Structure formats: C-alpha cells, structure tokens
Chain A
Amino acid sequence: MNLDVALRESIVKVCGVPPDQVGPAATLEDLGIDSLAAAEIITDVEIRAGIELPMDVLRGLSQMRTVGEVAAHLQSGARQPPVPSGS
C-alpha cells in the first residue's frame, strides 16, 4: 500500500475531516492532530500498510508541521534497512 495514501486515509478517519482538506500543505495543527492523535494515526498506518516504522521515525515525528512533511518522513523511514539490534 502506498504510504502517502495510507497516511491521508488514516487522518481522514481519526480526525473526522473530509479528504479534500488533507493536502500536503495542510498543517497538523489545523487538522487538530496533537501527539495523541498522531499516535493513533501512525499505528493505523502501520496496521493497514503492514509495515513497522523504526524508532528514529517515531521520535522525529514531533518535528513535523505539515501532512506533506509527515508523508516524506514516513517514506524515508520505511526505506531504511531494519535497525540492527546490537546483540
């Protein structure tokens, strides 16, 4: 599943906003996405896209301001190789 599509669908579902409001330039603040809603969106994207995002991506989310930034951030993380466990 395309991560960008999954992300927008999750935002529509969790925030209860119409799809045309979830463009790349829409800010998380305007959509009412706080850290709590973000957690629900991220797990929803993971479940539906069948992926696991690395910790760096999760921790970096708080720096993102727009839907487009989040989408790019998720893409960059999803392309990374699995994080070595160190053991």
Chain B
Amino acid sequence: MTSSGRLAAMGTSSPAIMRHYDLSDDFFRLWLGPDMVYSCGWWETGHNRDSLVQAQQRKIDFFAGRLGVRGGRVLDVGCGWGALLDRFVRVHGAVSGVGLTLSPSQADHAARRNVAEVSYLLRNWVDHEPDEPYDAVTCIEATEHFASEKLSPDEKVEVYRAFFERAASWLRPGGRMGLQLICLDNVGHAGSRPGRGPVSDLILDDIFPESMPASLSELVLGWETHFELDDFLDHPSHYQRTFRAWTLAYREQEALARALVGPDKCRTYARYFAAGEAAFRLREHSLYRVILTKRPEPKRWAVMVRPSDIHPQAAQGTGAGGASASAIRSHYDVSNSFYELWLGPTMMYSSAMWAGAAAGADLERAQQRKIDFFAAGVLAGPGSGRVLDVGCGWGGNLRRLAEAHRVTSAVGLTLSAAQLDYLAQHPVPGAEIRLQDWNDHDPGEPYDAIFSFGAFEHFARDGTTGPQRIAAYRRFFCSCRDWLAPGGRLALETIAHDGAPDTDAPLGRGPLGDFVLNLYPESLCPHLGEIVLGFEPFFEVEVLRSDPGDFACTCRAWLTALREREHEAAAAAGEQVVRQFRRYLAASEIQFRTRTVTNYRLILHRRPEVRI
C-alpha cells in the first residue's frame, strides 16, 4: 500500500493549491456568483435562460438525489467554498457533513456559512481518518489535484487506486460515491504535458500548477476494485456553458476585477475561461458525472493491470484471438427451433430493456426497446447510412433496424452456420449475412454505424490475462474505427465481470465457472477497466450504462418460457440440453442480481484522430 507521505507528494502541493484558490475570494465571487461554486453546472438543454445559479443548484441536487443523502452523513473531498455540503444539509436533509480542502481561504469562507452540522477541515484526503463511517462521499472536480503533472500514467493509477481504497474504508457497507470528473479525452496524457502549446502552458503554469486530469481508464482502474458503477453521464457541453457563463459574468465586472487582482491576472483568467470552453467544445477534455456503490467485498485481481502493461502497438498485434468458429457453433448451433421456443419472435439472444416494466411484461416489446435505444444513439436518422452488425445472431437487430428504422443497407457477421441458415430462410431486406470472423472482415466501403450485442464475450479466450484481453479488445476497436466513416458510431453491449474475481476462467474454476465455460467454450467476459482501455485510443464514450437488472429480468423471461415449453424443447434439443439451459439461465439470473456480473451498454463515437 502506498504511504500517506508518498501519496501527498504525488498530488498538488498546498502552496500550489493556495496560489490558485487563495488569490482573492472577492475576485472569485465576481464571476462564480454569490454561492461560490467552482465546478461545472448542470444545464438543461432548451432552457437558454437558465442562470448559472440554477445550473449549479441543479448539479448539487442531482448528487443529493442519487446519493440519497437525506438522514445521512456526507464527506466532500475538495469542498471548495462549501456550497455543496451547505445545500445537502439545508435543503436535502443530510444530518452532518465534513468538507476537506487545502485552501485556507476556502476553509475560512466555508466555516462562515454557519452550518452547525458541517465541519470544514484544512486537510489533505491522505490524512483523513474519520471516527465513524459516512453514508456518502462526494468528490467534485478534485481528482485533477490528486496526481501532479509529473506523474506517469502508472503512477496516476497508483494514486487513484489508493484514493478509492481509502474512500471505500470511509464508507459504510453499501455507501455511495458521487464523482464529477474532468478527464483527458481527445488529447492523451503525453499530448497534454507542458510544452504542448499555449493553452496547456497557461493552464499548467498560471492556473492549476502541479495538477493533471486523468484519463477515464485511469479512474476506472482506480475505482473498480472497491466500487461498482451505477450511473455514468457524459456532459462536456455543460462545461462549455459554464465557462461561457463565467466569461460573461467576469466581463460585467472587469473593472472591479482589475482593481482586485491587477491587469495581468485578469488577462490570464479571461484567457483561461476561453481556453476551458474550447477544450470542452473540442472534446480535448470531458466532463463525467459518476455514481458508484461500495462493493460488499473488494474485487480480487489475478493481474493488477497498469497502463504500461499494454503495448502501444497492441492493436496491430496478432496475439491470441477470440473463440474459434467451432466453439461458437457448439453453443449457437444447438437447434434453431429450440432457441425459437424461448427467445420468442425477435430471436434476440441478448438483454432486453424493461424500462421499469413489471415482471412478466412483454419480452418482444422489451427487446425492441433495447434496439430502439441503441438505434437512436448511433443512427444519424431514419433511412440513413450503412450498418454493420458484428455477431448478428438470428438477425433480430438487423430486422428491427430495417423495419422500424428504415436501414436499407446492412452487413451481418456470424460464425454460426445455424444462424446463417436461419437468415437464409428468413431474410432481412437489404442485409447481407456473412459467415465470417470480424478479424477477417473487409467492409468494402465505410459504415456509418456498427452494432455488436453479446459478441464481445467471445473476443478474448479463457486462460488469457487482463493485458492480453485488452490487446484483443484494442484490435476490435481499432478495426471498428477503421471501418467507420468519420463521425461514425458504435453500439456495444456486453456481459462483464462486476464483483466476480479476475481469473483466467469465467467466475473462477469451480462448478459455476466450469459450467459456463462448458456452455461457452473459449470465451471470457471482460472487466470494465479492460473495455475502457480497449476503446480509449479509438473512441469517445457518450453512453456507459451498467444494467444488470435488465439482463436478470431477461433471463427470467427466457427461463419462464423454457419451462412452459419444456416438452417441445426436449423434443427439439434433447432432455439433457434443456436441463443444462434451465440451470444456466437460473444461474445467470442470480449472477446478475448479485452483481457478480453485469451488462454494460455503450455508445461510442469514432475519434477524429487516434489518441496516443
């Protein structure tokens, strides 16, 4: 475990924090507004008359609601001038709070708010040792100060791992964490170093010395051991509007600002607002809002992946591939009529989206809802563009895209001869189905959108380590980027390990792991950090959802249908197969409900340039 002294030295020093935040409270108030909230607000689209005050309150209210702070005890790491805890207690019914800051001016100002239930401490997070656990921890745009610009990505991950381990120790079982994160997006770690250009020089020298945003992958590696993901929101445009609001407020008070801090500082801040707005507009930086829940037990790793474990050329390598065609066929070629009995008319063999529908609700409608959700996220509009479906199954997705979204040109890839046969008998208009591994795919002309549901689990084999899987995923994402036209998007759905330990077999060797591997030979689910490290050089993330409940309900719907038609199923595939599938569906449902595994849904945008 990294020592507190080392951790403190790896972050922004107190003098550097003071240089920025202790400049002048009166100066900050001119443009932050009376409540002194120095982070991104939450702007509603369409509310052009939204004020900065409303946007900041809406952001605080979001965290209060999702963390369920009523009646709870909250820690705010990097509490600024104290607005968040003040509102948590006064408006949202939190019973007590502790705020940590390294800025004496902020601590003084926060203490003068006179909220008796909140103590604001001048203290580094590394030195915080609470007497009793918290119900929730917030960290709003403070992680950029945990790792200085001198650290390597590996060292940054070391810091974030230590931070989230500490945060988990501060929380009660089941406690939640709310994060607002500024992350490097279309500019990588190396590209954001000083010397890159005037903007990064300005921010690193004159605004936030000794500070550095994280890449999303670095933070996921940081939290994944101790926390499961509940919400992930991508809001870069909210920071564009926040910086613009600061610019406008500042301009109205420019004369006063000059009197307070002098013309040089004023010039620096005016440029900083413009540079900040541009960085989010260009997606060089992103703003993510994340809600996490403490795991019942820390996740165990066979290999603690570090960013340097992944070779920069991993995507071009020819390492271990995914499941072979014969392994795929052993599962999907059981019997088309057997699958039809319990998958229902859509023949979709991936999670439906229930949207709060009651148990036993319409599976067909829930499968359509899932497809429509992704179609709305990746298609430019009805009837536009050419689509690829990697692992197209029995064509349920392509059929819905053709019928409901007027997609007229599509290619579907499958390794299952039975699925190809089914699609020959039930063709999808405008779709060409190929019996082909994605590794061998040549698109001919670019696609506008790619879909892949429940195929990613076959892209890396059992027996592989994290770094080997990441290399395999990078090859997939690199290929998708190559196949897509500029502006193209990728809809991805995959089962992944959540609380389950990292082993070289599904869910560990044991009855369950062996059983799953027997059903899905040569396959292995990813962990979230591996997915993110896989796509990060090639794609921006717009949507990332963890929906284990949806897949649990889907398993139950399949199991119910299979039980109802058990005799027909046995006639189609044999009694042993039916027994095996009953057990597998029941076990899968429980795995999702206990969050041993989860179902991630991602909508990704092709990066303009590959991010190095």
Residues B347-403 near A (CB distance < 8 A): 359
What's the Cα separation between A86 and B511 when bound, in Å? 34
Does B214 have its Cβ within 8 Å of any Cβ on chain A? no
Q: Mark B302-342, 1 if CB is under 8 A from A, else 0.
A: 00000000000000000000000000000000000000000
Does B57 have its Cβ within 8 Å of any Cβ on chain A? no
Q: A44-B586, A47-B560 are in contact. Are A86 and B68 (CB under 8 A)?
A: yes
Establish whether residues A87 and B66, one from each chain, have CB atoms under 8 Å apart when the complex forms: yes
- What are the 5 tightest A-B residue pairs by CB atom distance, in nearest-first order? A39-B587, A34-B511, A39-B590, A40-B586, A43-B586
Does B345 have its Cβ within 8 Å of any Cβ on chain A? no
User: What is the size category of the interface that chain A forms with chain B?
Assistant: 10 to 19
From A59, which residue of chain B is reached at the shortest CB distance?
Answer: B594
A2 to chain B, nearest CB (A): 21
What's the Cα separation between A34 and B511 when bound, in Å? 7
Does B121 have its Cβ within 8 Å of any Cβ on chain A? no
From A84, which residue of chain B is reached at the shortest CB distance?
Answer: B68
Establish whether residues B583 and A36, one from each chain, have CB atoms under 8 Å apart when the complex forms: yes
Does B292 have its Cβ within 8 Å of any Cβ on chain A? no
What's the Cα separation between A35 and B510 when bound, in Å? 9
Does A31 have its Cβ within 8 Å of any Cβ on chain B? no
What's the Cα separation between A21 and B593 when bound, in Å? 30
Q: Mark A47-87, 1 if CB is under 8 A from B, else 0.
A: 10000100100110000000000000000000000001011
What's the Cα separation between A50 and B594 when bound, in Å? 19
B564 to chain A, nearest CB (A): 11
Apart from A34-B510, A39-B586, A59-B296, what are 9 other A-B pairs with CB-CB below 8 Å? A36-B515, A39-B591, A42-B590, A43-B589, A44-B586, A47-B559, A47-B563, A84-B68, A86-B67
List the A side residues contacting B67 at CB < 8 Å: 86
Does A17 have its Cβ within 8 Å of any Cβ on chain B? no
What's the Cα separation between A59 and B583 when bound, in Å? 18
B177 to chain A, nearest CB (A): 12
Count residues of chain B with CB under 8 A from any CB of chain A: 25
Does B556 have its Cβ within 8 Å of any Cβ on chain A? yes
Q: How many A-B residue pairs have CB under 8 A?
A: 55
What's the Cα separation between A86 and B582 when bound, in Å? 33
Does B65 have its Cβ within 8 Å of any Cβ on chain A? yes
Q: Mark B574-612, 1 if CB is under 8 A from A, else 0.
A: 000000001100110111011100000000000000000
Does A37 have its Cβ within 8 Å of any Cβ on chain B? yes
What are 19 A-B pairs at a CB distance below 8 A? A34-B512, A35-B510, A35-B512, A36-B583, A36-B587, A38-B590, A39-B583, A39-B586, A40-B583, A40-B586, A42-B590, A43-B556, A43-B589, A55-B593, A55-B595, A58-B593, A84-B68, A86-B67, A87-B65
Does B226 have its Cβ within 8 Å of any Cβ on chain A? no
B contacts with A: majority SS: helix
Establish whether residues B512 and A36, one from each chain, have CB atoms under 8 Å apart when the complex forms: yes
What's the Cα separation between A39 and B560 when bound, in Å? 15
Q: Name A's B-contacting residues (CB within 8 A).
A: 34-40, 42-44, 47, 52, 55, 58-59, 84, 86-87
Residues B141-189 near A (CB distance < 8 A): 176
Residues B544-578 near A (CB distance < 8 A): 556, 559-560, 563
Establish whether residues B590 and A43, one from each chain, have CB atoms under 8 Å apart when the complex forms: yes
List the A side residues contacting B586 at CB < 8 Å: 39-40, 42-44
From B516, which residue of chain A is reached at the shortest CB distance?
Answer: A36
List the B side residues contacting A40 at CB < 8 Å: 582-583, 586-587
Establish whether residues A87 and B587, one from each chain, have CB atoms under 8 Å apart when the complex forms: no
Q: A35-B511, A36-B512, A40-B582 are in contact. Are A86 and B589 (CB under 8 A)?
A: no
Q: Which of B65, B296, B589, B595 contacts A39 (CB 8 A)?
A: B589
From A44, which residue of chain B is reached at the shortest CB distance?
Answer: B586
Q: Which of B359, B511, B559 contacts A36 (CB 8 A)?
A: B511
Q: Residue among A42, A43, A58, A59 with the most chain B CB within 10 A?
A: A43
